Amino acid sequence: MAQSLDNAPGKTESANTRASLAWRKSSRSIANGQCIEAVTLPDGRLAVRDSVDKGGPTATFTPCEWSTFVKRIKDGDYEI
């Protein structure tokens, strides 16, 4: 499902590319530091990362994968 932005086949996004993107944090985030940030990449994929570890791992999803992931969270398929 999700791929690392660093290791996605055929992709060459680097840490510099990640830093230059307009990442956004959910308005529902709370100040406990357990938040993610997201950005839509030029190729249409969605990338997510830990808002505290901006240089850390980044997962990417196609729009379909992201929709499925969100639906499964809402349906209670994952223990959060």
Number of domains within the chain: 1
**37-74 tens-digit pLDDT:** 999 999 999 999 988 888 889 999 999 999 999 999 99
The pTM assigned to this predicted structure is: 0.68
38 within domain boundaries: yes
Q: To the nearest whole percent, how much of the chain has pLDDT over 90?
A: 41
40 within domain boundaries: yes
80 within domain boundaries: no
- The pLDDT, as a whole number, for residue 14 is 55
Q: Show the domain range for 28.
A: 3-74
15 within domain boundaries: yes
State residue 63 phi and psi, 5-degree precision.
-55, -40
54 within domain boundaries: yes
